[in-house]
Structure 1
């Protein structure tokens, strides 16, 4: 089953965990080193409590403003083109901030599905931006639909991780959250290592 199909079939908890895992893996791009800043949101997925309050706290802890403009399109092109002057790292950080800014404070299926879908796209695009082996010609949409020929290693690993997380939650429900968190933590280590390597290369 493709990633698109898995998102379409996921329940509220699966959607929230999928989007949160994408955000969690990419947090190192915001420059902090607090790996536990999103842990209260993971706790909300277990106890079903205080999601909105914990969203607000996570935004504050990561130096982000409150709720995004309700008219903001989370799938909109950020406007980074060949002449924009924005580096791949800047583009990636923008996408992480947008994931954080658009976390729904109401955990309805419709709101979470749109956010989880946007986070999936953003996380794959971020990994493409960070991967020196990516040639910039791939289609994230095609990857999510199952057309995976010629993927760069970092993007391929992120796609596998997203699929594995949704499959775990579909099979095990809340009982799969610990395994999902482990998958996300490992992905965050990968991103942190890539960010560190890129910084050394610019030094």
Structure 2
């Protein structure tokens, strides 16, 4: 099943977990530590994603990850900030589905921008449409950079484990996300050294 189909069939917890996992993998861009999103993961595990705990946790995370003005930040950082800013206060309804879908696209774009194997022309192009059709609808990976392929697979895995195992799948979703965060943190670190 394609990524787009998995998102379309996911329940509220799956959607919230999918969006949160995408954001979690992009935390290195926001200078966040590995534990910053733990309260939100815990809220989902407790089944309180549609209660006040999620909204409170979200407010705390936004406060911790509040960065400088968007002025001068590159596109990858801006995409990560938008993911966090757009997170709904409740894990239900159309808002959580729209957020999960937007996080999926944004995270693929972030990985495309940061992949050293991607040439400058591709990086500069608006590839949102390509990510929607090729990367997410048919899950075809030919011609995609390694970082993007790995992110696509992580997104699919997170949605599959959440659909197949419900609340118990959150642990595996977090493991997948942690692995992806470590990879992205290494990429961000190498990129910073290259610019320094």
TM-score (norm 1): 0.85
Larger helix proportion of the pair: 2
Aligned to 2:113: 129
Check if 1:182 corresponds to 2:175: yes
- Displacement of 1:47 in angstroms is 1.0
Q: Which runs of 5+ in 2 are unaligned?
A: none
- Displacement of 1:109 in angstroms is 3.0
Q: Which runs of structure 2 are paired with 1:45-60 in the superposition (5 Å)?
A: 45-49=44-48, 50-60=53-63
Whole-angstrom distance in 2 between the partners of 1:188 and 1:59: 18
Moved more, 104-113 or 190-199: 104-113
Whole-angstrom distance in 2 between the partners of 1:64 and 1:47: 29
Whole-angstrom distance in 2 between the partners of 1:192 and 1:25: 9
Whether contact under 8 Å (2:12, 2:91) holds in the other structure is yes
Whether contact under 8 Å (2:30, 2:67) holds in the other structure is no
TM-score (norm 2): 0.88
Q: Provide Cα deviations, 1:30-78, integer angstroms capped at 9, x if missing partner.
A: 123x11011000001011331111111110111169xxxxxxxxxxxxx
Question: How many residues align structurally?
Answer: 182
Q: Which runs of 5+ in 1 are unaligned?
A: 66-85
Whole-angstrom distance in 1 between the partners of 2:21 and 2:80: 12
Whether contact under 8 Å (1:41, 1:55) holds in the other structure is yes
Q: Provide Cα deviations, 1:88-109, integer angstroms capped at 9, x if missing partner.
A: x710000000000011002213
Whole-angstrom distance in 2 between the partners of 1:109 and 1:176: 21
Aligned to 2:135: 143
Q: Provide Cα deviations, 1:87-137, integer angstroms capped at 9, x if missing partner.
A: xx7100000000000110022131110000000000000000001112316
